Amino acid sequence: MRLKPVQPLLLLLAALSLASCASRNEVPASAGMTEDDDTFCRAGGKNAPGSPDYVYCRKDRDAARNAALARADRQQRDLADYMVNHPEHPYSPY
């Protein structure tokens, strides 16, 4: 059976769509949490691991990272909803 010229194009489009969805759970670059939490929370030797200030810092960093992930997921979901509900014109955040 010979493939029609449109079928390979459709397969490529489907593969690209699935590949972009697979990388959705990565930490966004805008999260600002690129530095190691342990190094950040030790603050030049001021906070010893296990001290209350160190534990609070680690909890705070974890909460901020989770909030950034939730915000990125919510933005992605809102964009998808907008695109589904408004097919007549594309979304432009600018």
Please state the pTM of the whole predicted model: 0.53
What are the residue ranges of helices labelled H in 23-51? 37-42
For position 70, what pLDDT does the model report? 95
Rounded CA-CA distance 27/5 in Å is 38
Please tell me the predicted confidence (pLDDT) of residue 94.
56
Given a cut of 80, whether residue 81 has pLDDT beyond it is: yes
Q: Which residue has the higher pLDDT, 4 or 32?
A: 4
Going through the chain in order, the beta strands assigned E by DSSP cover none
Per the document, the length of the chain is: 94
Note the pLDDT of residue 22: 58
> What pLDDT digit, counting tens, does each position of 15-67 carry?
667 666 655 555 555 455 557 888 888 887 888 888 999 999 999 999 999 99
